[in-house]
Structures are given as C-alpha cells and as structure tokens.
C-alpha cells in the first residue's frame, strides 16, 4: 500500500527545492510523476519555484472546489509522451499543500490507500499568527509519514514560526493567506524571536 507523506517546515526550509529533487529522482528512473499545487498560490503562476532559482510547470492547478481524485484522473489520461496508452503514475507531488481543503487531503489519502499512488505533500504548518492552516492540520492528522524540513532563525536557533513583514515591519493582523513575494514577505523565526517581534502575542 502506498502512503500519504507530509513534509513540512517553516518558510525558507527548502520545501519546493526538495519536491523538485524528488521529481527529478523519479523521472531519472523513467517513472512518471504528476506535479500539483493549489491555484491560490499565485507566485510563479503555473510553476513551482525554488528559492535556488529552479522552476517547473505543474500538471495540475487545484481549485478549492476540486476533487483531487478527479484532477489526477484527468491529468493521468493526458500523457503527452504516450497519448494512446497513458503510462501509470508513480507518484503525485503537491507543493504549498497547506492551502488544500481538509476534503482534498482526504482525497489524497484515498489516492494513496485505494489507488496505490504515493502522495508527497509539501507545505507549512501554521500561518503568521501561529494558527494551523486547515489543510496542514488535516495532513498532520492523517498522513502516514511526517517529516520536518529544518531551517534556522536569524539568531541561529531552529526556526519554527513564519513572521509576516510589510517592508521592514512585522505585522500580526490580516488574512490568513497572503502569498510570499506577492502580497507580503516572510521570515522564519525561532520561538524567542517570534515572541519578541509580536510582543508576546502568540496565537492572538
């Protein structure tokens, strides 16, 4: 039986880079993968962007009302290398998975368990106010495998929170979703630095 994986970390922990490396590894061995991300992530339009400068177009843009199983079924049939006999999909890789709905995460689990396709989801756990994204919460609840991708704070300690900046000023009010590099900037912070910047307003 295949598994649902959630690989998470604070901003700048190399999640997209790791995803693209996994995609390369599969394809180097002649296996077919599908890349997906939620449409709400407008950075890069249809591309997954790594901070190292690597970019790759996704096969599936997921809208909030979409069934991931239906999206995968359609994309699986659109095999441009072998249109008359679509190749089996060896894995599904999802970037910015925190933006999935809980129902879509359940879909991802069914793809792994019932259709035997590994699903590797990459994302962050919490927003700039340390509140879990609904998709990330569901992934933490039901994934077979959880893996933390680590990065460091400006002070050198392990970063676990995502501070939102407008210019040089950290902000702690606003919508949960504000796309990095489009609507705001983010900085990965350890607990001590986050509390210092937020004046102790953890989770407010």
Give me the active site residues, please: 96
Please state, in angstroms and as integers, the Cα–Cα distance from residue 121 to each residue in 105, 107, 111, 163, following that order: 9, 12, 13, 22
- Among 24, 137, 121, 34, residue whose Cα is nearest residue 86: 34
Rg (CA), the chain: 17
Paired tokens of 102: 């809980």
**CA dist., res. 154 & res. 8, Å (int):** 19
Output DSSP code: residue 81: S
Output DSSP code: residue 126: B
- Among 183, 115, 112, 194, residue whose Cα is nearest residue 159: 194
Contact 149, 120 (CB under 8 A): no
- Among 113, 36, 112, 107, residue whose Cα is nearest residue 70: 107
Contact 58, 97 (CB under 8 A): no
- Among 130, 124, 133, 127, residue whose Cα is nearest residue 151: 124
């Amino acid at each position: 039986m295949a598994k649902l994986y959630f690989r998470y970390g604070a901003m700048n922990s190399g999640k997209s880079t790791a995803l693209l490396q996994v995609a390369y590894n599969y394809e180097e061995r002649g296996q077919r993968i599908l890349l997906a991300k939620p449409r709400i992530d407008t950075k890069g339009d249809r591309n997954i962007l790594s901070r190292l400068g690597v970019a790759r177009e996704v096969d599936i843009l997921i809208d909030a009302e979409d069934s991931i199983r239906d999206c995968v079924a359609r994309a699986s049939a659109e095999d441009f290398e072998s249109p008359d006999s679509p190749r089996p999909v060896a894995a599904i890789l999802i970037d910015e998975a925190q933006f999935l709905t809980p129902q879509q995460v359940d879909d991802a689990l069914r793809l792994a368990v019932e259709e035997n396709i590994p699903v590797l989801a990459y994302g962050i756990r919490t927003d700039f106010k340390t509140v879990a994204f609904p998709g990330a919460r569901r992934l933490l609840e039901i994934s077979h495998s959880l893996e933390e991708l680590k990065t460091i704070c400006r002070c050198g300690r392990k970063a676990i929170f995502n501070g939102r900046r407008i210019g040089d000023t950290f902000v702690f009010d606003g919508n949960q979703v504000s796309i990095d590099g489009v609507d705001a900037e983010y900085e990965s912070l350890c607990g001590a630095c986050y509390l210092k910047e937020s004046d102790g307003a953890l989770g407010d």
